[in-house]
Amino acid sequence: MPLPSMKDVEPRELTLETEFKFRCHKGVKCFTKCCRSISILLTPYDIVRMKKRLGISSEEFLDKYTYMEFDEKSSHPLVRLKMLDDNEKKCPFVTPEGCTIYTDRPANCRYYPVGQGIMRKGTNDEPVNVEFYFFIKEPHCLGYQEDADWTIKSWKDDQEVSLYDDMNREWKEIQLRRDPFGKNLDSNKQAQIYTASFDMDRFRRFVFESRFLDIFDIDKEEIERIKTDDVALMKLGFRYVKYLLMLEETLKVKEKYKKK
Ligand code: SF4
Ligand code: SF4
């Protein structure tokens, strides 16, 4: 679950069939050691799940449990889980019994000790996004000494992480789409991208209380769905972010607003 340092990453090309031994359970001496002093990048879907689990608004969740930073290369806003300000810098959701939000834990926590990433290959004209995996081997983690056999695929199934991959794919692809001229986003755009990606309750107010639905041609059924469905709203948010970044014409402006 932590963002590994390069020394903890095993440089080996993995496939879904790659085998490994690992087991994590309450009996291991290191139980919950991995939930301290770590850097966990949260995806929009992680936040939808966690704020629902906690029964709080996205604004409250972001304010209480996260901090924001900007990606060095793209200047896109990113969100990380904030550790407690205690000696151990513990995750706010860990207890001696384990993770208190286990069934809604973030994708990075589900994958651990496997890491997952996405990179761009191919040419500028025909880019191909390739998902890849790696092992995170940190000295404190004793799970590798346990005797349980996995492949990357069976681990993913066991941790129910494929749904997260499906939900996160579009957002991860957006993170790869950097301005080809290396220009930084202005603060207004960064704020809009932050809201449309991570702050669903604020984004919903923006959609329904601004001129958004007057300007953009959004299907009636979708409008009904996004009134209550955070996942549908998150997907609209991805389209809005792509529109803002001028990556694709993901939203149609109504005829009356088109320049003649
Ligand atoms: S969210 Fe749960 S699994 Fe992830 S670091 Fe926190 S306590 Fe550990
Ligand atoms: S075995 Fe690894 S993943 Fe499991 S509790 Fe220990 S450090 Fe965390």
Nearest CA to ligand 2 atom 5: 31
Q: What is the pLDDT of residue 121?
A: 85
With CA atoms as reference, report the closest residue to 216 among 247, 174, 257: 257
What is the reported pTM? 0.92
Out of 109, 159, 160, give the residue to mutate to test ligand 1, the one with the largest number of ligand atoms within 8 Å of its CB.
109
Strand order through the sheet with 114-122: 9-10, 127-136, 114-122
Nearest CA to ligand 2 atom 2: 141
The Cα 167–Cα 247 span in angstroms is 19
Range name among 18-32, 115-129, 138-152, 192-206 with the lowest pLDDT average: 115-129
Give the distance, in angstroms, between the CA of residue 38 and the centroid of all CA atoms in the same chain. 16
Largest pairwise CA distance in the chain: 70
Find the ligand nearest to 137 CA.
2
Question: Which is more confidently placed, 3 or 64?
Answer: 64
Is residue 12 pLDDT above 70, yes or no? no
Out of 28, 33, 94, 95, give the residue to mutate to test ligand 1, the one with the largest number of ligand atoms within 8 Å of its CB.
94
Pure H helices in the chain:
44-54, 58-65, 107-111, 152-158, 162-176, 187-198, 200-209, 212-215, 220-226, 230-244
Find the ligand nearest to 107 CA.
1
Is residue 13 pLDDT above 90, yes or no? no
Is residue 241 pLDDT above 80, yes or no? yes
Ligand 2 atom closest to residue 143's alpha carbon, by position in its atom list: 1
Residue 94 near ligand 2, beta carbon < 6 Å: no
Q: What is the pLDDT of residue 182?
A: 67
Is residue 64 pLDDT above 90, yes or no? yes
State the chain's mean pLDDT as an integer. 92
H/E stretch holding 150 reads strand 149-151
Q: What is the pLDDT of residue 255?
A: 86
Residue 31 near ligand 2, beta carbon < 6 Å: yes
- Work out the average pLDDT over 114-136: 87
Q: What are phi and psi of 239, to 5 degrees?
A: -65, -40
Is residue 86 pLDDT above 70, yes or no? yes
Share of the chain above pLDDT 70, in %: 93
Confidence grade of residue 174 (pLDDT, cut at 50, 70, 90): very high
Find the ligand nearest to 139 CA.
2
pLDDT in tens, 14-51: 999 999 999 999 999 999 999 999 999 999 999 999 99
Confidence grade of residue 179 (pLDDT, cut at 50, 70, 90): low
Confidence grade of residue 260 (pLDDT, cut at 50, 70, 90): low
Is residue 77 pLDDT above 90, yes or no? yes
Question: How crowded is residue 26: how many other Cβ atoms within 10 Å of its Cβ?
Answer: 9
- Work out the average pLDDT over 80-105: 97
Q: What is the pLDDT of residue 193?
A: 97
Is residue 1 pLDDT above 50, yes or no? no
Range name among 1-10, 70-79, 245-254 with the lowest pLDDT average: 1-10
Question: How crowded is residue 228: how many other Cβ atoms within 10 Å of its Cβ?
Answer: 9
Is residue 132 pLDDT above 50, yes or no? yes
Confidence grade of residue 248 (pLDDT, cut at 50, 70, 90): confident
Report the pocket of ligand 1 as residue ranges, CB < 6 Å: 1, 35, 91, 93-94, 99, 101, 105-106, 109
Nearest CA to ligand 1 atom 2: 99
